[in-house]
Structure formats: C-alpha cells, structure tokens
Amino acid sequence: MHYQRLASERELLDGLAQPHAAILCGGTDAMIKIRAGLLNPSLVLDVSRIESLRGIRRNGDAVEIGAATSETEILRSPLVRDTLPLLGQVLVQLGSVQIRNRGTLGGNIVNASPAADSAIPLLLFDTEIQIVDRSEERWMPLESFFIGPGKTALESGQFIRTLRIPIPREGGGSSFHKVGKRNALTIAIASLGSLIWTTEGTISEARLAVGSVAPTPARLRSVESALRGRMLDDALVADARQLITSSISPISDVRASAEYRKNVIGDLLVRALEAL
C-alpha cells in the first residue's frame, strides 16, 4: 500500500486516476475499514491538508464548509454558532472529542451510514455538495447524493470539495434527538431532526429528516407537506405521530426492532412539536 499526503487538488486528481486509489481524510471510518479488510486500496490519498478543501466561510446567504474541515473546527466557528446552531447541536453529539478532532463532514457523508448524524441537519438545511473531477465541478443536493447504506452518487475519479449550506430564514424552531445505548459514541438507533416555522399557531413550513430508520438518512417530504397549513394543536400532534410512523419502514437489527424504531420516531416528533 502506498500513501500520499496531498497538498493540492491537482495531485488528488492525478492520484484518483490510479487503480485502487482511496481517499482518506480524518480516517475515523476509513482506518477501521482498511484494518477489517473491507477496504483494500493500493494507494491511499490523504486529503486532510489540502487547503482548498478546508475552512468555513460565509458566501451570500449560505455558509460554505470545506469537506476536510474537522468537526471540532466547525463546533468552534462563531459563524456556525450564529447562523446554523442546529449543526453544532448535532456535532457535539457525534462520537467523542477524539473522533471530532479528526472526523469531517466530507467523511461522514461519503461514508453514507444510515446513521450519519451530520446528514440530519445538513438535509434539513437543503445542503448542496460540490463534486469535482477532471472534467467538471458541479453542485448536487445532498438529498440526491445518498443512494443506499454506504452508497452514494460519488463516482470513481471524483471528490467533494465543499458543502454549501443555505442559512434558513429566521424564526424556525429546530430540534435534533438521537436515541442510542449510551451517550457518547452512540450510533443512533433512531434519530429525528426538525425545522418548523409557524405563523399565528399554524405551521407554515415543516422540514423533517430521520436517521437509522431507512437505507439512508432521509427527508420525509410527504409528512412535511401534510403538516403544512395545519393548526398546531393536540389533534395535529396525534395525527403527526400516526403519519410519521406509517411513512417509515425501518428494519430490525441487533440494536433495535423495527417496531421500537417506529415508536421512537413517533415520540421524537411529538417531542419536537410540543416544544414549538
């Protein structure tokens, strides 16, 4: 196995043209896979020091975060704290201090675990990611990027440079809850994030995203549109619970049963609505 510490995107594109090359950033997912033999690259391309993949900046109505920026750096950013508080609220619950010091958003989304925590707020914010290869650079909604467990729309020869996160308009109430076995280092059994705006007691816009209850982290568009325009009262809360549990079909696994997951998601939505 060869290992390259890259300084530029040009070196990265050259490396990606080689057979059996794999990108590594913080390594918190990739190192485990390499050691378990699940990933067997002949060339490891370390992108953690490529400047153009790093940093946090405001660009118009959006915040752009380089794919190789560590979760700790994001948590420390005053810009993120002021404009995207939900992102910080989620990232402090990701892994541990040690994991967050190395782990990145690029790694979290390309790893594409159904339980990827950062995906929940990123989906709620309608995040777009910038995919780069030799011939072009393009923006893709994160929602279309996830294809299945561990599967994304990223093709060979491509990498992610930046995430563009539109700052949501003021006044929305947001929440994120994950349920797992212990607090730190918890891989979610089920998680729900919400971003909901109300005017005079009526829901004007609702965004919902769930983790660990579908093959990928996902928005629940049908529930969102069913909530829009409804009065926020007890009847709505009961309906919403019913709607969301029937709109997801989680699997049973070693960590929890499908029925338990549905109940948890229902409870989390009730909690989010009651907190508005």
Partner 1 sequence: MKIACTINGKRVEMDIDPRLRLLDMLRETLHLTGTKEGCGEGECGACTVLMDGAAVNSCLVPAPQADGTEILTIEGLAEDGTLHPIQQAYVDTGGVQCGFCTPGFIMATYALLLESPDPTEEEILSGLEGNLCRCTGYSKIVEAVHLAAERMRKVA
Ligand X SMILES: Cc1cc2nc3c(=O)[nH]c(=O)nc-3n(C[C@H](O)[C@H](O)[C@H](O)COP(=O)(O)OP(=O)(O)OC[C@H]3O[C@@H](n4cnc5c(N)ncnc54)[C@H](O)[C@@H]3O)c2cc1C
Residues at the interface with partner 1 (CB under 8 A):
1-3, 5, 24, 26-28, 31-32, 35, 44, 46, 48, 72, 92, 95-99, 101-102, 183-185
Q: Which is nearer to ligand X, 53 or 214 (CB)?
A: 53
- What is the pattern of x (binds ligand X, CB under 6 A) and - over residues 11-40? -----------xxxxxxxxx-x--------
Give me 171's structure tokens: 């006044």
When CB distances are held under 5 to 8 angstroms depending on the partner's kind, the choice from ligand X, partner 1, none that residue 166 binds is none
Q: Give me the least distance between CB of 115 and partner 1, in Å please.
A: 15
For residues 160 to 199, the per-residue mask of contacts with ligand X, x marking binding by CB under 6 A and - elsewhere, is x------------------------xx-------------
* Minimum CB distance to partner 1, residue 19 (Å): 17
Closest CB 20 distance from partner 1, rounded Å? 14
92 contact choice in partner 1, ligand X, none (CB below 5 to 8 Å, kind-dependent): partner 1
CB of 248 to partner 1, least distance (A): 28
Rule CB under 6 A: say whether 111 interacts with ligand X.
yes
Q: For the segment 49-78, give every residue that binds ligand X (CB under 6 A).
A: 53, 67-68
Angle, alpha carbons 103-109-112 (nearest 5°):
115
The token duo for 33 is: 């896979």
- Which pair of structure tokens corresponds to residue 236? 């709505």
- Among partner 1, ligand X, none, what does residue 238 contact (CB within 5–8 Å per kind)? none
Q: Which residues bind ligand X (CB under 6 A)?
A: 22-30, 32, 47, 53, 67-68, 94-95, 99, 102-104, 106-108, 110-111, 116-117, 154, 159-160, 185-186
